[in-house]
Structure 1
């Protein structure tokens, strides 16, 4: 038995001006850029990744494994055509040699030059060389799914948590269904529906309403055996594609298809009736910070969610830190800020040196009419690191990450972490590797949306969501969508009912 494995992940913010090139696909890798074969196994084994569950299944079945590629990039702008082709080529080539199953660890919201539906294009090419081989895909909770993708897949599972702490389990769920398929104990049929609604990322978490009951019902249906797999995808609203929106995918056994259709209707109706609950208006960040400054005790977690690199932001927009300094908020740590030039300046100055830098603000964001504005800061260089650490928290546990070279500047009231690579702070190691204990500070300023809860939620006495500027904002009206299917809630006038955007079975 031969399995082809691949990890190819990118969440594409089409409003970002930062292109995603081949070398960007090095997140968790053992080298700069993607890795293959034995190196890909080494990067994945024992980690909280879906592909790690695939490796465990292969071991259990004594199957030969061709790990075609491990390519994982931090969310950013559109993937270059060259990068897409370079990563897809070895996956398709491996599948073309013949295999018993193709197991994919994907995101589901990737856009590449020439391909608004990048993962759908990958599956189309795989199906062209393997017409009947099972194709299994584990996807991120924020996937945007197309009919093309569903048509060519046999098994689809999605994360049930946000922050994503069940990534390995998502792979296990897919692997379990694949094994039943290989053993002739199940004949999977995919049922899918996409709703004409955008949901704000801050309101998507299945740990609370309005998503909680929807996800709970889906998980209960899978646990009880009503369906083989049930996944609710909140969608990634910062991708301007015809496939963007909340969707539901059920993997049903062929002889239980009618009941699965009823479940699909139930889940879709729940989501549609709650559409308004997924939308919230946020105060200007200046007003929010002024209130936070008056809080008597800490740690106070200040979460700047408009420039979050896990949603495609650059993490070099300085407005929130600038306002924090203007308000005199001290006893704080802030970062990481992506600014390779400032890192170089701080390292050149050396440990213990007094240094003045123009921090961040190197990126213009025309999609939201925002020009980069650096923040001049002066302080002492108190640490320099290689930026490498291993995740110990519950999200992507065991993954080896690198910020590139990093430096810590102490301004006297705020410790500022500056890095060569962007990274969302979902694990405390982002600070502790540089000798910073965030829990000892009154204020912790980070750029995130929800993933921060995995590594920092338990540290905070107060969590304050700060709507700073950037291409990750929650006000969808500020974005010029040109490819999005319309009408779409909440951008358009109230829609009359649920729009069915999903096919039935993939193949007769």
Structure 2
């Protein structure tokens, strides 16, 4: 008889410093696809559910996929949203309980609802109360997970991404699926151990394109070849979540049926965690001020390979507002022209522009409206509308290839020789189609500003003449001391000297 597996994805990275709430409407506007609808949308792209399905086909499972729920990183998840989506998963587990052989979940690991600090631990606790202590549960995590003791206590198997930019989601899903299959068949008896260090995050936020951090993941892969070691996951943590369990972790899923595997797993976890701690000062990025970045943009030679400027601190993928204006103001002041700025998340400005036509000249306040203390206030600018759109795009790069999303009502607003992509719905820059779909051609630019920390590199670095990183002082600034932490356990690096 085929093994029956319940699958689901419930993904959010919560910036606890961000105003507002990530509510149910936000999930519905971005991704809240049920059952077969989710499989049709994500079943053959670079997503965990695609990997789950790959593993299931190879093993001959019967799969019931409940939901794929994703929202752009943002404010804490509302209780209504959490209870609704978790309720879909738990209700399905309750219905399937008597014929279920395992559960496979795609989670993030840094979800913070407005009623607790550990969304994933809460979901897993609710599931365990339904299915009992023995049913195998496997979980995939984002590399930026805050993996808590509560999570480890409620599931046996954990597999995190090993790339940042994240390009291995599907393979991570396959890996977790293979481990779940072995557990369901009684071939292994998995458990997971955890090592943690008192840091807000790993020094390079888990970047796998710099030697110090890449070596950690190379070591993890090598350790996975050890008998009895099933998965080694390094989680860099998410510095924008002010929670008690903040900090990088190493998770080693091992086979209790193999003699000595538990001790080996513990040693491996602590060894890698020690290296993370020892390398805490080895930061690879050079963070430029807006004025420094603007000067480079002004002077950069246009030769078909633009200067890519990452507005690191205003990354919507870390829950920043995506409307910071400090860098745009500096570019205008410096007289940098022939570039583009993508995006400014400003639904009010987008609505104003959509009341006009392509070719119209408009004066309006742009950006900086949510919290001017982080990244600057609104700029009153005059410009020409170059493009109007519903914001729909389909990615074709390493991360978003084949996945369709929308920015909502979108405009390209040319001001002071800079094309500003003005959007209504949040999203960080992951894919070239996020600009090309709206008439912005990177090869024709002198510079391109992307609101992203690291993911932009997968799609944009290959076409760049040079990449630089700017700290605009927005909500995801690398200067962590600018954020008012109250929940993290102290002392913690880099807030404290330890």
Do these two structures clear the TM 0.5 threshold for a shared fold by scoring above it? yes
Partner residue in 2 for 1:117:
118
Q: What are the residue-to-residue correspondences of 1:381-460 with 2, within 5 Å?
A: 381-411=385-415, 413-460=417-464
For the Cα contact (< 8 Å) 1:281–1:475, is it kept in 2? no
Instruction: Call closer, same or farther: CA 1:209–1:425 in 2, change over 3 Å.
Output: same
Partner residue in 2 for 1:499:
none
Separation (CA, whole Å) in 2 of partners of 1:412 and 1:280 = 29
Render the CA deviation track for 1:283-314: whole Å, top value 9, x for unaligned. 43223432443333451111111111000011
For the Cα contact (< 8 Å) 1:199–1:234, is it kept in 2? yes
Helix, strand or coil at the partner of 2:472 = coil
Separation (CA, whole Å) in 1 of partners of 2:307 and 2:286 = 22
Partner residue in 1 for 2:356:
349
Instruction: Call closer, same or farther: CA 1:281–1:197 in 2, change over 3 Å.
Output: farther
CA deviation after TM superposition for structure 1 residue 238, in Å: 0.8
Normalised TM-score (structure 1)? 0.92
For the Cα contact (< 8 Å) 1:200–1:279, is it kept in 2? no
> What value does the CA root-mean-square deviation take over the aligned residues?
1.8
Partner residue in 1 for 2:57:
59
CA deviation after TM superposition for structure 1 residue 262, in Å: 2.1
Q: Does 1:42 align with 2:43?
A: no
Instruction: Call closer, same or farther: CA 1:276–1:77 in 2, change over 3 Å.
Output: same
Separation (CA, whole Å) in 1 of partners of 2:396 and 2:181 = 31
CA deviation after TM superposition for structure 1 residue 412, in Å: 5.7
Separation (CA, whole Å) in 2 of partners of 1:444 and 1:355 = 23
For the Cα contact (< 8 Å) 1:81–1:112, is it kept in 2? yes
Helix, strand or coil at the partner of 1:47 = coil
Q: Does 1:266 align with 2:277?
A: no
Q: Does 1:317 align with 2:318?
A: no
Q: How many residues align?
A: 487
For the Cα contact (< 8 Å) 2:203–2:281, is it kept in 1? no
Partner residue in 1 for 2:233:
231
Q: What are the residue-to-residue correspondences of 1:68-467 with 2, within 5 Å?
A: 68-97=66-95, 98=97, 99-131=100-132, 132-199=134-201, 202-223=204-225, 225=227, 227-254=229-256, 255=258, 256-278=261-283, 282-297=287-302, 298-364=305-371, 369-370=373-374, 373-411=377-415, 413-467=417-471
CA deviation after TM superposition for structure 1 residue 353, in Å: 1.4
Higher RCO structure (Cα 8 Å, ≥6 apart) = 1
CA deviation after TM superposition for structure 1 residue 65, in Å: 2.4
Separation (CA, whole Å) in 2 of partners of 1:140 and 1:39 = 23
**The 10-residue stretch of structure 1 (53-62 or 144-153) with the greater mean CA deviation from structure 2:** 53-62
Separation (CA, whole Å) in 1 of partners of 2:113 and 2:385 = 39
**The 10-residue stretch of structure 1 (406-415 or 233-242) with the greater mean CA deviation from structure 2:** 406-415
CA deviation after TM superposition for structure 1 residue 61, in Å: 3.6
Gaps of 5+ in 2: none
Partner residue in 2 for 1:506:
none
Separation (CA, whole Å) in 2 of partners of 1:288 and 1:415 = 17
Render the CA deviation track for 1:394-453: whole Å, top value 9, x for unaligned. 114322111112111123611111111111111001011112111210010111100010
Separation (CA, whole Å) in 1 of partners of 2:285 and 2:360 = 45
Instruction: Call closer, same or farther: CA 1:275–1:202 in 2, change over 3 Å.
Output: closer
Q: Does 1:477 align with 2:481?
A: yes
Render the CA deviation track for 1:266-290: whole Å, top value 9, x for unaligned. 2122112112214877443223432
CA deviation after TM superposition for structure 1 residue 483, in Å: 0.8
For the Cα contact (< 8 Å) 2:139–2:157, is it kept in 1? yes
Separation (CA, whole Å) in 2 of partners of 1:457 and 1:28 = 26
Helix, strand or coil at the partner of 1:210 = helix
Helix, strand or coil at the partner of 1:13 = coil
Normalised TM-score (structure 2)? 0.94
